[in-house]
Structure 1
C-alpha cells in the first residue's frame, strides 16, 4: 500500500503540478503601472528581483501588450506598503512597468473593456501563504493563534473534534454544507453497519475499522478524486478556444431549453444531482447495490 501511495503522489505531482502552472499562466492579465502609483524615487534594487539558478528571471509582457518586445525582470512584491501585492515586470531603470495578475487568486476580475476574466480562488493556499509570510517576517498574530490553540484544547477535553470544528468555521457555508450532508450519510450507514456487526463481539476499535472499509467509504474517496479532476477539466475548458466554444454552446442550449436555468429556482434545481449522488452513496454504503462479495474476517 505504501508503494501505491508513493506512486500516486509522484504521478499527481508530475501531472497536476505542470498542469496547475499552465492554468495559472494561461490567462495572466497585464496592466500598465501608472507612474504615479509608486513614488518618483522608488526603485526595485537587484536584491529584490527574482532569480532562477543564480540569474535574474526575465519575462516579456503579454496580453494586449504582447507587441512590447522588451525583456523585463520579475519582482514579487510581498509588502503592501510598497503597493499592490503581486508580481511586477521591472524595466531597466528599476521602475515597475507592468502588474501581472495571475489566473489563480487573481484580484482583477474584469479587463479594461469590462469583460469578465476567468479567475479561480484558492483560499487554503492564501491562508498557508499568510502563515508562512507571517513566520518569516515575524509579524504573525500570535495572540490569535494562542487563543485558537486554547479553544482547541477545550474542545478536545470536551470530546469535540477540534479539527472538524475549525474546518467548519474556516470554510464558507456553501462548502461546509455538502460536507455536513456527507457526514449525515456516513452516520446513517454506520448505524446499519453497527447493527450488522453487533453479533460479532467486536471492540469499538474493530467496529470503526470495519466501517472505514465499507464500499461507501471507497465510493466517497472516488467522489473526492473525481471532483478534483472535474475542477481541473472545467478550468481547462475556460482557456482552450475549442473547448470554450463547446462549453459556451452547452450554456446557450441550457439557457434556451431549461426554464429554470436562471431565476429564483435555479439554485434549487442544482440540488437534484447532489441528492442523487447522496442517495447513491447511501445505498452503496448500505450494500443495497454494488455490494460485491467480501470475505468476513470475523467468521
Structure 2
C-alpha cells in the first residue's frame, strides 16, 4: 500500500460544516427512490443498470446549492451518496429476486411477499455497509493516490464545480422531461409506435425492435464498446440461438428416464 502519501481530505477534520442534516437526508432519500425505481425498470427490461452516482451528484448540486442556496459540499456529498445507493440496492434486488418468482411459477415455492423482499433488500444493504467500513481505510484512505476511482473522481469534480454543477442539472431535468413527453406520446395517446416489426413469411419468423429513449441513454453512458458487446449478444441470442432451438427442439428434462423428449 502507498504509505508515503497520506490522505488529505478536501474539508479538514477540524472544520465544522453542515453534513448530515434533515434536508440532505430527505433529498437523498427522494433521489434514491427515483433512481432505484428507474434502474429497477431499466434493469429488468435491458439486463443491466447504470450508475446513479454522477447524476445524483449533479442533481444534488443543482438542488442544494442553486435552488436552496445552501453552501456545504459535505451536505451535497451526503445527498449524492444516499441518492446513488438506491441504484445499487435496486440492482442487487432485480438480478436475484426474479429467481424466486420463477421457482414459484414452476410450483416449487410461493411468490415472496413485499415484506420478504423488503427484508432481503435491507439485509443486503446492511451487509454492504458493514463490509465497506473496514475496506474504506484500506482501499480509499491508504490507496487514494494509487487507485483512480474514475466514477468517484467524477462525482468529486461535479461537487467541486459549484455553479457549473448546478447548470448541468438543467440538462438532466431537460432529458427527464423529453423522455416523459415521449413516453406519454407513444404509450399514453398512442401517436407513435413503440415497436417496429418485419414479418418474414417464408421463414415463419419476425424481426423487430423497440424504440426507447432510455436505451439510447444507456448506450451513451456505457459507451460504444459495451454497447457493441450487448448488440452482438442480442443478435446471437435472437437470430442464432433461438432459431436453432426452434429448428432442432430442446430437452427440458435431459437424462431423465421416462420423459418424452421433443
Q: TM-score range by the shorter chain?
A: under 0.3
- TM-score, normalised to structure 2, is 0.25
Structure of higher RCO (CA pairs closer than 8 Å, 6+ residues apart): 2
Highest CA radius of gyration, 1 or 2? 1
- TM-score, normalised to structure 1, is 0.23
- Which structure carries more helix by proportion? 2
